[in-house]
Structure 1
């Protein structure tokens, strides 16, 4: 069998594996609460709060979708015309056209160009956050955070690009196989390493002061079978008024992280409810499942790129012979971008079901639906979340159940348990 035949067979196996993982490990049996219950919850929210949140989201929407459209057009212009390959060739000329310069510097420049054309829309978003008082980070701090994110992305991107094109040169006929394994390994590594290494770049973490809340959180984690090493407070208030908490790390590095904004805005019982939700993710190994699906998806993507770009019209459009040429990175970039757009609604649907399971876990762990509902009200109010967003946007990108879905779920739990 030819390498292309093996690639087709392997891709089919990975798609089947992804389907099996999705069927077995994603909690599809948790449909949203009945619509009538959601509408009843919506009526109980203050009308002025709902109107304010919807105005805010409406002001964000043009920048978000225009930025998405402009970024896509830029990627298409670079990847489906010779423009991208010429840009990469130009970047590599000062280094004698060496393939490393083309692969690493050229690839990073392609990504940077797309980032720069969408930068005005990112600034638009930040201006809206400032105007509504949700962001506490001025333009100076926003710029510093932006540069930090560029630096982190550049380091990771440089390693990935160098590794990918090194494999292509060492195994020109079978690079797709080695690349698929490497992509899956990189996704797995980043999933567990990034939270520990990258989080401190953007936030300062301090241990939570000893007291009843810290004791309650650690005891609840132990009772839930998810022991944690520490309970940390993140200085989120230096850039936002939004509230949140999460559990990160594995084994000896697992810790509960609570935003300082959450401690200021919520009652101890509400903080406990939020953390109970996050413990649900750890209990059900949602990070592990997400990493597995991400690794399988990355491996499948590498093989699909090989099959699409090894011959045919796409390389010719990009002005290259195949995707194995470092000058073809812009073509790879646009294909990955398009795949992300197609997969986005599916990923959002999976995420909503996983989040709904974590909500159910929090309700069962705390046995306090009233506090859970109160916390959802508070989250929506502080984060300016539309409690019942437009259906098309919900299906397209919502990673969590809506506020009214979560309130209705709490009420259903209260009816079923008599609490």
Structure 2
């Protein structure tokens, strides 16, 4: 949940993450402090990484945007298990006999009346339950010659029906391609595939309990930190505050951007589904060679490159619309550079996450535990370092120059009890004409950033925008957002452990420890982001409404608030009356008319002239 809370209600952000939320699989802010509309779907430089076309919390999906994994990779429900060799043959994969009439390893048929490791006699042809008595952690070979791989559940053949990579008798010790597991646990052997081990069902029960506990904690934090009711407001009325020409322009822009946005959404779902339900991901990465960790990294590069190439024309389409409406000032070289940098950041973070994930899966049966802890820690770390490491890759930031505006802003922050070392100005005008501001980071890296385009607005409006940002800082919205995002990432790790087993049968991979599983994991992350996006938007809209309320309490100037909302909506071409589907899928902020209605309710409640 790398956090940015942005301000502009519909700015197609340029130079900063669109919509203000990060989703590196980390994700997430509350969508921006004062802005979010479909133009936010146009991918802004610096948008957080995530495979596939990320619907960040509150941002509208733009063509070319990636599905942001709102959840970090989780884990596989199965440990590698060996597969059967021909009946009566030596245990597959060892390349030697298992000693005189030794019990076979999981998945091989036990010889007639031979004792299994745990002392029971195995029926002829039944799979033995235990590992070798010698406990040397040798991985056993693969499928029956010419037959399909046996699964870990009851010896059924894998749906692919393809022979395993290693034939009977061709197996090898795990100190070859498979690593020995620490603490005497089972090792993963790429040629052996998943092994059915005693206690798998117990591990799944433990993971399910952890999932339920994490979900309960997330719900508790969300319930505690989200302001579910602020003011009773009347229905929004765009016709009261906006001219007919402004409403018509907003509707025309919405129509021009809806088609590419929905096509991008459909492509995101389709690509993720293909990665999760077919062997596409495995085929894209099967030709890669080298150590497992290198194949994981290269697999991420391949999948990101393919999806980016598919989305590139949609991104160009959307950018063309932005230029036609005067919202983009970029040339194609600058636009291309921003997209490539964004893809590079995405690839780096995804590769880091997946290398760690696969390493854990190759070593530990309960790898979902350290994976969940690591996902949480990565989310927190990313939120802390993003403002000082990644944002400067896309924008230049300079302290606001001395003058009455800077003096008034710092004085307002002091009066509000919010420690702010500086107010920074981002050079957004080289990409956009939109108005925006945001708060990002926390602790020593917390900063309030305003677009240089916003400085052209009247000073009282700029002060109101910053007052909104101070509301996020005072309520620690970034910190709570990071906490929720980290817990969500941990939940995603556990959930992946539980769902990967059933999914892998259709994808041509043997285990999540298989480097070819990269595409499957990235597809699951994208689908998770899509599924949880609407819930994140609900919370984000309430957080943004509270920041609006705070700005009114701090400035006590509803007239300027209404004027500022009109100005933002006109310049950013906000959707003044989003339809229900767009509101659920994309809206991280209340609409401009909703925010104006709130300001009028506040004025009536506080005995101030109603604007």
Looking at structure 2, the residues matched to 244 and 27 of structure 1 have their Cα atoms a distance apart, in angstroms, of 23
Correspondence 1:105-124 to 2 at 5 A: 105-124=298-317
Select which of 227, 230, 234 maps to 1:30: 230
Indicate conservation of the 8 Å contact 1:191/1:291, yes or no: yes
Say which is worse superposed, 142-151 or 66-75, in terms of deviation: 66-75
Looking at structure 2, the residues matched to 308 and 32 of structure 1 have their Cα atoms a distance apart, in angstroms, of 43
Deviation of 1:254 after TM superposition, in Å, equals 2.8
Looking at structure 2, the residues matched to 291 and 204 of structure 1 have their Cα atoms a distance apart, in angstroms, of 25
Residue number in structure 1 paired with 2:205: 5
Mark the runs of 5 or more structure 1 residues left unpaired by the alignment. none
Select which of 3, 15, 18 maps to 2:215: 15
Say which is worse superposed, 333-342 or 194-203, in terms of deviation: 333-342
Looking at structure 2, the residues matched to 86 and 227 of structure 1 have their Cα atoms a distance apart, in angstroms, of 53
Looking at structure 2, the residues matched to 177 and 253 of structure 1 have their Cα atoms a distance apart, in angstroms, of 29
Indicate conservation of the 8 Å contact 2:576/2:593, yes or no: yes
Residue number in structure 1 paired with 2:541: 352
Deviation of 1:108 after TM superposition, in Å, equals 2.7
Residue number in structure 2 paired with 1:157: 350
Select which of 434, 443, 461 maps to 1:242: 434
Residue number in structure 1 paired with 2:402: 210
1:3-52 CA-partner distances (Å, limit 9, x unpaired): 222111111100111111121111112367221xx12x532211101110
Looking at structure 2, the residues matched to 154 and 386 of structure 1 have their Cα atoms a distance apart, in angstroms, of 32
Residue 30 of structure 1: SS of its match in structure 2?
coil
Looking at structure 1, the residues matched to 267 and 419 of structure 2 have their Cα atoms a distance apart, in angstroms, of 45
Residue number in structure 1 paired with 2:26: none
Select which of 418, 423, 432 maps to 1:226: 418
Residue 233 of structure 1: SS of its match in structure 2?
strand
Deviation of 1:214 after TM superposition, in Å, equals 0.2
Does residue 301 of structure 1 match 2:500? no
Indicate conservation of the 8 Å contact 1:71/1:117, yes or no: no
Indicate conservation of the 8 Å contact 2:426/2:450, yes or no: yes
Select which of 170, 187, 199 maps to 2:363: 170
Residue number in structure 2 paired with 1:201: 393
Looking at structure 2, the residues matched to 31 and 79 of structure 1 have their Cα atoms a distance apart, in angstroms, of 44
1:73-106 CA-partner distances (Å, limit 9, x unpaired): 122223321121121121x22x2xx211221111
Residue 232 of structure 1: SS of its match in structure 2?
strand
Indicate conservation of the 8 Å contact 1:84/1:318, yes or no: yes
Does residue 66 of structure 1 match 2:66? no
Looking at structure 2, the residues matched to 127 and 32 of structure 1 have their Cα atoms a distance apart, in angstroms, of 41
Looking at structure 1, the residues matched to 476 and 498 of structure 2 have their Cα atoms a distance apart, in angstroms, of 33
> Runs of at least 4 residues of structure 1 off by over 4 A?
none
Looking at structure 2, the residues matched to 177 and 251 of structure 1 have their Cα atoms a distance apart, in angstroms, of 28
Residue number in structure 2 paired with 1:386: 575
Does residue 324 of structure 1 match 2:479? no
Deviation of 1:301 after TM superposition, in Å, equals 0.7
Indicate conservation of the 8 Å contact 2:300/2:347, yes or no: no
Mark the runs of 5 or more structure 2 residues left unpaired by the alignment. 1-198
Does residue 56 of structure 1 match 2:253? yes
Does residue 363 of structure 1 match 2:560? no
Select which of 370, 381, 404 maps to 2:593: 404
Indicate conservation of the 8 Å contact 2:281/2:519, yes or no: yes
Looking at structure 2, the residues matched to 251 and 4 of structure 1 have their Cα atoms a distance apart, in angstroms, of 38
Residue number in structure 1 paired with 2:195: none
Indicate conservation of the 8 Å contact 2:231/2:601, yes or no: no
Deviation of 1:396 after TM superposition, in Å, equals 2.1
Distance change (3 Å), C-alpha of 1:401 and 1:84: same
Deviation of 1:249 after TM superposition, in Å, equals 3.3
Does residue 269 of structure 1 match 2:460? yes
Looking at structure 2, the residues matched to 30 and 390 of structure 1 have their Cα atoms a distance apart, in angstroms, of 23
Indicate conservation of the 8 Å contact 2:304/2:343, yes or no: no
Indicate conservation of the 8 Å contact 1:89/1:102, yes or no: no
Residue 564 of structure 2: SS of its match in structure 1?
helix
Does residue 133 of structure 1 match 2:339? no
Indicate conservation of the 8 Å contact 1:71/1:115, yes or no: no
Indicate conservation of the 8 Å contact 2:376/2:486, yes or no: yes
Distance change (3 Å), C-alpha of 1:297 and 1:133: same
Q: TM-score, normalised by structure 1?
A: 0.94
Residue number in structure 2 paired with 1:339: 528
Indicate conservation of the 8 Å contact 2:384/2:445, yes or no: no
Looking at structure 1, the residues matched to 350 and 271 of structure 2 have their Cα atoms a distance apart, in angstroms, of 19
Residue 438 of structure 2: SS of its match in structure 1?
strand
Indicate conservation of the 8 Å contact 1:75/1:114, yes or no: no
Give the length in aligned residue pairs.
Answer: 408
Looking at structure 2, the residues matched to 80 and 251 of structure 1 have their Cα atoms a distance apart, in angstroms, of 43
Residue 411 of structure 2: SS of its match in structure 1?
helix
Indicate conservation of the 8 Å contact 1:108/1:157, yes or no: no
Select which of 251, 258, 264 maps to 2:450: 258
| RMSD (Å) for aligned C-alpha atoms | 1.4
Looking at structure 2, the residues matched to 407 and 57 of structure 1 have their Cα atoms a distance apart, in angstroms, of 21
